[in-house]
Structure 1
Amino acid sequence: MSKFGQLINTEVPVLLNFFTEWNEDSVGMHEVLRDVAAALGDNAKIIKINVDKNQELSDALRIKGLPTLIIYKNSEMKWRQSGTQDPNSLIALLKQYA
C-alpha cells in the first residue's frame, strides 16, 4: 500500500483506471485512456490497475463496478466514477485539477 501512496502523492492529477481483461467495458477504455494521455502529456498521470492482480488495493478502495476511474491529486481523491467515459470528459476533468 505504501507504493500506492507514492503513486497518488503528486502535484499533477493522477487518473487511476481499475480494470480487468475479461470485462469488455474495461478493455474498451484502454484506447480512450491512450487518447487522454496523448492529449495531456506531462500534465497528468494515467495508471491502469488490474483488479485481478491487485485485489487488496481494489478491496480497500471498494472497487465494485468496472471500469472504475478515480482522480487523485496530492494524495486526495478528487473524483470517482464507475463505467465508461469519453476522452473529452476525462481531459476536461483532469485539466480542472491540474
Structure 2
Amino acid sequence: MAVALTKDTFKQNIESGVTLVDFWAPWCGPCKMQLPIVEELSGEMEGQATIAKINVDEEPEIASQFGVMSIPTLILFKDGQPVDKMVGLQSKDALKNKIQGQL
C-alpha cells in the first residue's frame, strides 16, 4: 500500500533510494483514477522502491515546495532529489518504467 506522507514524514521517506510520490486530492476526478494504479504499483515494487502519496489539501506546503500546480502530479525522487515530474493521469507501465530507470 502506498505510504501517506505528511510534512513530518516526507523528508525521511524520500532521502534514500527511489520514491514515487503521488500528489492528489479526494475531490479530484483524475486522482481517483490514478490512485488504484499507484496502489497496485506499490505492491509490485515493494522492496525495490517506495510508493507514496500526499493529499495536497492537507499538505499544501510540500505541494508548493515542488511547484505542484495541477493534480495528479507524480514526482520521482532518487536519494532525496526530484529526478522526474509527471502531470496528469499516468499508466502503470509508464510509471514502472520510470521507476526501474532509476533503480
Q: TM-score, normalised by structure 2?
A: 0.87
1:45-56 matches, within 5 Å, as 45-56=50-61
Post-superposition offset of 1:2: 6.4
Percent identity of equivalent pairs:
23
* Structure-2 separation of matches of 1:85 and 1:9: 24
Query: Counting helix residues as a fraction of each chain, which structure ranks higher?
Result: 1
Listed as ranges, the gaps of 5+ residues in structure 2 are 1-6
Corresponding residue SS for 2:23 = strand
Match of 1:64 among 58, 69, 73: 69
Alpha-carbon RMSD? 1.3
Listed as ranges, the gaps of 5+ residues in structure 1 are none
Corresponding residue SS for 2:68 = coil
Post-superposition offset of 1:81: 1.2
* Structure-1 separation of matches of 2:78 and 2:8: 16
The aligned counterpart of 1:88 is 93
Aligned residues: 97
- List 4+ stretches of structure 1 deviating above 3 A: none
* Structure-1 separation of matches of 2:94 and 2:64: 27
